[in-house]
Amino acid sequence: MKQSKHTKPESAWDLIAKAERALREAVAEVVEAHRRSGEPIIVWQDGRVSRVHPQEALVREKPSRPYRVQ
């Protein structure tokens, strides 16, 4: 990531937080689009591909495992 002279460098945690926020927003948009259209959401669940009705889709608020930054 290119930085200008006047910006403070972002930490890895800041970038992780931004990426996670962007992914959560994208997932929310997809789920909402599928709710409007009634189309099932295709997900990887229990080691296989499955269809989930959009009304049953749950978005976790917190990750199931902590992140590690190396």
* pTM, two decimal places: 0.61
> Which residue, chain included where needed, has tokens 């006047």?
6
Residue 32 structural domain = 12-56
Let me know if 9 is exposed, middle or buried by CB neighbors in 10 A (0-12, 13-18, 19+).
exposed
The answer as to whether 70 is a domain residue is no
Residue 66, domain member (yes or no): no
Report the domain count for the chain.
1
* Domain presence at residue 48: yes
33 lies in a domain?
Answer: yes
What does the buried/exposed string (b/e) look like for 38-55 if buried means 16 or more CB atoms within 10 Å of the residue's CB?
eeebeeeeeeeeeeeebe
pLDDT in tens, the chain (70 residues): 555 565 666 788 888 889 988 988 888 888 888 989 999 999 888 899 999 888 787 666 555 565 555 4
What is the C-alpha to C-alpha distance for residues 25 and 6, in angstroms, rounded to an integer?
29
Is 1 within the bounds of a domain?
Answer: no
